[in-house]
Chains A and B, each alone.
Chain A
Amino acid sequence: QVQLQESGPGLVKPSETLSLTCTVSGGSISSGGYYWSWIRQLPGKGLEWMGYIYYTGRTYDNPSLKSRVIISVDTSKNQFSLKLTSVTAADTAVYYCARVPPTMDPYYFDSWGQGTLVTVSS
Chain B
Amino acid sequence: EIVVTQSPATLSVSPGERATLSCRASQSLDNYLAWYQQKPGQAPRLLMYGASGRAPGIPARFSGSGYGTDFTLTISSLQSEDFAIYYCQQYKNWPRTFGQGTKVEIK
Contact = CB atoms under 8 A, between A and B. Distances in A.
A, B co-complexed? yes
Interface of A: 45-49, 60, 62-64, 96, 98, 105-115
Given A45-B100, A49-B96, A108 B1 contact: no
B49 A48 contact: no
A64 B101 contact: no
B59 interface: no
Contacts of B98: 46-49
Given A112-B43, A114-B43, A46 B87 contact: yes
A108 to B, nearest CB: 4
Given A108-B34, A108-B91, A46 B49 contact: no
A47 B55 CA distance: 20
A9 B21 CA distance: 37
Interface of A is mostly: loop
A46 B95 contact: no
Count class of interface residues, chain B:
20 to 34
Contact of A109 (B46, B94, B95, B100): B46
B96 to A, nearest CB: 4
Given A46-B98, A47-B87, A49-B95, A112 B44 contact: yes
Contacts of B36: 109
A109 B96 CA distance: 11
Contacts of A115: 43
10 contacts: A47-B89, A48-B98, A62-B96, A96-B43, A96-B44, A108-B34, A109-B34, A109-B44, A114-B43, A115-B43
Q: Which 8 A-B pairs have the closest CB atoms?
A: A112-B43, A108-B34, A107-B91, A49-B96, A47-B98, A62-B95, A46-B100, A110-B46
Nearest to B96: A49
